[in-house]
Homo-oligomer: A and B are copies of this chain.
Amino acid sequence: MKRTIGVCYYPEHWSEDRWETDARMMAETGITWVRIGEFAWSRIEPVEGEFHWDWLDRAIETLGKAGLKVVLGTPTATPPRWMIDRHPDMLAVDAQGRPRKFGSRRHYCFSHHGYRDESRRITRALAERYGKNPIVAAWQTDNEYDCHDTVLSYSDAARAGFRDWLAQRYQSPDALNRAWGNVFWSMEYTGFDQIDLPNLTVTEPNHPHVLAFKRYSSDQVVDFNRIQVDEIRKHSKAPIAHNYMGKITSFDHWKVGRDLDIASWDSYPLGFLIDRVDTTDDRRRAFLRQGDPDFQAFHHDLYRGVGKKGRWWVMEQQPGPVNWAPWNVAPLPGMTRLWAWEAFAHGAECVSYFRWRQAPFAQEQMHSGLLRPDNAPAPALEAAATVARELRDLPDADAGTSPVAIVFDYDSAWAWEAQPQGRDFGHFEAVFAAYRACRALGLNIDIIPPDTADLSAYGLVLVPAVFSLTDPLRAALASYRGIALLGPRTDVKTDELSVRLPLGPDVEGLDVSVVASESLPPEDVVRLAGKGKFRRWFDHLEGSAPVHLMTESGAPAIMGTDHLRYLAGWPTDKTFARIIGGLCDAAGIETTPMPDGLRVRTTSTHRFVLNYAPVARKWHGVRIPAAGVHWEAL
């Protein structure tokens, strides 16, 4: 697989007489790909039905002439102002019932069929015009689905769509009442048109009601995306990507990914650290200018899984300070190179910096680029050029294999949002805790979907906090010959978010039941026999399976067979690494406990060692400076 670097570019933001210089400089930097177009609707179609292609033709031509390839984005994340007059009710409505206004971006409701038609229309127009253009060598649909929490919309269109979706799913109100347990508080319906969206209830709405609305909303994203894919495919053979964001769980990326050719994501390590990573204040301070040492890697592995045949990119790579976190610092020198190499070490085809030149205007004017707004090089330009040079010196390689897999399941994210039971309980957080533990042991990891039917490639499979196993995964686990660690809180619910009866988990060969559960406040832990601690969650287990680990008070902490084990609690980071380490030993998987801040990943040809620490670290005698990258051939 060929590795490349790219950049995001907005010709419409700049004077046309600058385009050629920009293109030349990009080529000189070693850039292969240039993403354009995804916010340009008001310039492509300034008035309804009146298309201005000329400037875009010339921009693409200019880039092509410099030897660059274009990723062309559909501009549907930014419908122009005139469209609001045409479809006043296309605006999303928030959970408080307020329609959101025009004036920023992503101001549309996925359920609005009028806007879907507009989206299809502009996509078709772009595909017709550029589908055969050899410079346009890839496509991007829309931009960052759900950014700014835009998947859930409480609009009239969503309500109407939800009712149809429910009618299709349940066929009768009685079936829905039974599935949801609506008898509980006389919440029974006699017609689908009685069902409202689950916001603004007096106390919490019924959990399956919430889960259904989240499933419905995710399906709207899948549909919305597929309409664009279908239009593009009619006219172009170039691969199609979408750029996902970090820690977005509001729609099923696995499903969207199946309609695309490439998964890509937008990686902003410093903004994410301060805003989205589940970590301690101490670690937030220690990694302030480097980003969390596992958060990027997790998404790399996730999106490698989401990408068809493992094809994935970083579509936007942070180049310097951003504008959107509560505070925005500059990366430690070296990090913009390290982040790129980490992506390649995880199998990325392309790392594309966002953006070519810092815009001096509008909302992101404090977001740095490879160039400063005055055209002088920003620090990341040299880093990008360095990476490009280094890429030329390394052989092509693929992502390599992983001995460990972790199941990641969007439905579980929704289920536990509807029913957290503990304020800090979430599926993403539970999976990420497992991921951290594996990373601390130097392991390659695959993130796999919840309907995985074949686990035979892995020696160890982790299934944390999956509310309800799918049939394929349940079957795969029953016959699995490696070691699978389920839990905590795995397969304790039905697919409709009721308590599974008989009490779960329900995997053939594993006689363990969760008979009660506790969510633990931050000041409380469950101590394990010997050493170690659970926090946040503790399942009370019963069953005939052997107990492998006990709590200090004698309750089972891990129970199960040689192949199937159930983990009763949410371990602290150290405890989790110790548990995983033991399972790896049992499974014959080699582990390498990593010094703090140092992370490793192994491709098909090399081992890459990355230093996220703010100080130099030693690795097998090699000194790796802060923000340093070291690689060695296998």
Chain A residues close to B by CB (< 8 Å): 12-13, 39-43, 46-47, 75, 77-82, 85, 92, 96-107, 147-148, 150, 180-190, 194, 196, 198-209, 274, 281, 284-285, 288, 320-321, 323, 326-330, 358-366, 368, 372-374, 376, 378, 419, 421-423, 498-503, 515-521, 523-524, 540
Contact = CB atoms under 8 A, between A and B. Distances in A.
Of the listed residues A183, A328, A372, A498, the one surrounded by the most CB atoms of chain B closer than 10 A to its CB is A183
Contacts of A540: 330
A617 to B, nearest CB: 20
Contacts of A189: 81
B422 A327 contact: yes
A327 B107 contact: no
A336 to B, nearest CB: 13
B518 A101 contact: no
Given A12-B183, A77-B185, 10 more contacts: A13-B184, A82-B194, A100-B200, A102-B196, A181-B365, A187-B362, A208-B361, A274-B521, A288-B523, A321-B517
B516 A185 contact: no
B188 A80 contact: yes
Contact of A186 (B39, B285, B329): B39
A326 B104 contact: no
Q: How many identical subunits does the complex contain?
A: 3
Contacts of A281: 523
B328 A524 contact: no
Of the listed residues A180, A202, A366, the one surrounded by the most CB atoms of chain B closer than 10 A to its CB is A202
Of the listed residues A82, A200, A323, the one surrounded by the most CB atoms of chain B closer than 10 A to its CB is A200
Contacts of A372: 503, 515-516
Contact of A203 (B104, B519, B520): B104
Given A81-B188, A98-B96, A361-B180, A103 B205 contact: yes
A184 B364 contact: yes
A96 B523 CA distance: 34
B362 A181 contact: yes
Give me the 7 closest cross-chain CB pairs, A-B, nearest first.
Answer: A181-B361, A184-B362, A360-B499, A42-B186, A78-B186, A181-B362, A327-B521
Nearest to A424: B327
Of the listed residues A12, A203, A423, A540, the one surrounded by the most CB atoms of chain B closer than 10 A to its CB is A203
Contact of A181 (B77, B201, B359): B359
Given A181-B362, A361-B181, A203 B148 contact: yes
A82 B96 CA distance: 24
Given A199-B101, A362-B206, A499-B361, A188 B46 contact: yes
Given A184-B13, A188-B80, A502 B374 contact: yes
A518 B43 contact: no
Contacts of A46: 188, 190
B204 A363 contact: yes
A288 B26 CA distance: 59
A47 B190 CA distance: 9
15 contacts: A42-B188, A43-B188, A46-B190, A47-B190, A101-B202, A106-B202, A180-B362, A206-B362, A281-B523, A321-B517, A327-B521, A327-B524, A361-B499, A372-B516, A376-B515
A290 to B, nearest CB: 13
B186 A75 contact: yes
Contacts of A206: 103-104, 362-363
Contact of A518 (B82, B190, B330, B500): B330
B362 A185 contact: yes
A327 B47 contact: no
Contacts of A100: 200-202
Given A102-B196, A362-B207, A327 B520 contact: yes
Contacts of A329: 518-521, 524
Of the listed residues A79, A328, A363, A376, the one surrounded by the most CB atoms of chain B closer than 10 A to its CB is A363
A291 to B, nearest CB: 14
A460 to B, nearest CB: 30
A328 B421 contact: yes
A535 to B, nearest CB: 11
